[in-house]
Every structure is written in C-alpha cells, then in structure tokens.
Amino acid sequence: MDYGTSLADIEKARENIAGTVVRTPTVPSLSLTRQAGIPVSLKLEHTQVTGSFKLRGAANALATLSEDARAKGVVAVSTGNHGRAVAHAAKVAGVKAVICLSELVPANKVEAIRALGAEVHITGRSQDEAEKEALRLEQEGMTFISPFDHKDVIAGQGTLGLEMLEDMPEVENVVVPLSGGGLLSGIALAIKARRPDVRLVGVTMSRGAAMYESLKAGLPVEVEEVESLADSLGGGIGLENRYTFAIVRNLVERCLLVEEDELAEAVRHAYREEQQVLEGGAAAGIAALLSGRLKPNGPTVLVLSGRNLDMDQHCRLVCGDSSAAKEAFHA
C-alpha cells in the first residue's frame, strides 16, 4: 500500500536533518519496569532541540524546499511545538517564517516562538481558525507546512522510529502520544517496514480526541477543542486528511484514551522517579501504563515527545499530593 512516505524517504530525511537535530537516547526506566513487570524504556525525545520531536519534521520540510519557495518563506499553524520547530528550522535554513496561533496557546510558547525570530499571528479560539490565517498567507505565495499531514513532516518524524529500533532491537511494543498523527504515522511506517511484528499504540487525552473519534467513525470528524493538560495534543486531524488517518487506521494496533488526572500523575512520576520534565501530552504513554489502561506483555518503549510547558505550572503539578496537583492545574 502506498502511504505517500516510504522507508527510503525516512532514511533520506535522516540525512537531511542530521545537522539540525540531535539523536536522542532510549534508556531503560527502572521505575516503570518495576511497576509494569516488563522491560520499559523511554525515548527521551523531549530533550530534542526546541524541546520536542517536531523539529525533525520541520527540518525535513525546510530541507526539501525549492529555491523559489525558500525566497517566499514558510507559514505554519501550531499549538506551539510545531511553530517553535518551524521557526527554528527556518532560521537555521535562512528562510522567513510566519507562525499562526490560536488564543488558547500558552503565553510561554508564544514568547518562545517570537524569540526564535518568527513573525507570530494570533487569531481565533481554535487551531482551525488559526489555520484560516495560514491558508490566506499560502494564497499569497508562502509554503504552508502542516504540523502532521505532510509527507516530508511524516518522514522526518519517522526518523525516531529508526533510532528506537537500533537502540532497542528486542522491542515488541511502541507507545506514542497521538494528536494529528504525524508522529505515530512516521514511526509506524519506519517500524512496520523493518519489524511488522512490533505493536504500535497511540495514546491521547479523552478531552477532544480527534483521531480516536475519527477512527471510531471510520472517517475524519471534527471534535470540540477544550482545554487540557495535554495542550499539544489538541486540534483536529482535518476533514480533508490526506495521509495520517489512513496510516494510523491501517498500521496502528490500538489507540486509547487517558484522563486529565492520569496525565497529571504521569508528569509527576516522570519528574519524581525519572528526573524528567515533561509537558502533559508527552506523558501520555506513562499515563497509559501507570493507570493500567495499557498492559503490554513484552519489551516496551514509551516516546516522551516534549517538555515545553509553563514551569510554574509544572512546579504546582509535581509538588504535593496528586489531588493538590490536580487542583493547581484547574485553578
């Protein structure tokens, strides 16, 4: 089946982005191995440059631009991490970038993007409204880089899959935070091409789970966007979804939901037991494991996808007991 992106595209992406991204480690988690009773490792992708995996896809998309497109610049719409990644990748490539955001995006993420030298346009109360502004700029000649539904972005995210297989060849389950599905699609294409027996699991928050609801409906559907600790997992998959819906539907064994308090507990666990600072969405795999919603029975890698959250919010989450942490988040 042709999904638009091949293993060769992912291997090429790896060469394209080598100078811009770091190769992140996959390390055994002693605390989660003990709790789950199977070997659990963590792919520390939150330690990526710009604080999330999004730089891989963005850097690959920038690397494949024509001279004419480079001259006109790129535009992106993003809950934060993709915008940050495109801004940084564009700066490294010497290309102008405009990032379109909704009013729901946390202030720390907006500032981080401005600091990277990109122009920021803030419009509307949802990702979809911010997208309209981006499409307007695309009409004016800029190149639109989708955060997930884009061949070069999917190939870039797939490079994570190659690294995990090299570092943990005995892996049987790979657990990935899921929103638009670019990350999960890239990883699925890379891993299934080499190891079709590895099981892939996508995890998302129950509040506004667009891909989950679309899989259930059998076609891309819209969901209401609501505030969540996992703000980087918000947004739709696009009613005109070209790639990620088909890839996730055909290559991924299971998608499951986690609750807000489970995400909060997972962020706390990552900090207290693993000394890792994670944003809510990045802790989705840990939440699935700790809550018992996922019970894998072989070696498992959890992808930790990002660390960009407000550090005062993180402080409230990780201090005190979990009920206090929950109140702190909802306050």
Ligand X SMILES: *Cc1c(COP(=O)(O)O)cnc(C)c1O
Residues that bind ligand X (CB under 6 A): 52, 54, 81, 147-148, 177-184, 232-233, 279, 281-282, 305-306
At closest approach, how far in Å is the CB of 244 from ligand X? 7
Task: Kindly tell me which of 13 and 233 has the beta carbon lying closer to ligand X.
Answer: 233
Q: Which has the closest alpha carbon to 54: 246, 182, 235, 242?
A: 182
For the chain, how are helix, strand and coil distributed in percent, rounded to 5? 50, 15, 35
Per-residue tokens: 288: 């699935």
Give Cβ neighbours of residue 305 (< 8 Å, ≥ 6 apart): 45, 46, 52, 53, 176, 177, 183, 232, 281, 282
At closest approach, how far in Å is the CB of 119 from ligand X? 21
Task: Kindly tell me which of 75 and 184 has the beta carbon lying closer to ligand X.
Answer: 184
Task: Kindly tell me which of 54 and 268 has the beta carbon lying closer to ligand X.
Answer: 54
SS (H, E, C) 186-248: HHHHHHHHHCCCCEEEEEEECCCCHHHHHHHHCCCCCCCCCCCCCHHHCCCCCCCCCCHHHHH
Task: Kindly tell me which of 182 and 208 has the beta carbon lying closer to ligand X.
Answer: 182
The C-alpha atoms of residue 247 and residue 191 are separated, in whole angstroms, by 13
Task: Kindly tell me which of 16 and 157 has the beta carbon lying closer to ligand X.
Answer: 157
C-beta nearest to ligand X: residue: 306
At closest approach, how far in Å is the CB of 303 from ligand X? 8
At closest approach, how far in Å is the CB of 283 from ligand X? 9
At closest approach, how far in Å is the CB of 210 from ligand X? 9
Q: Which has the closest alpha carbon to 31: 17, 21, 41, 20?
A: 41
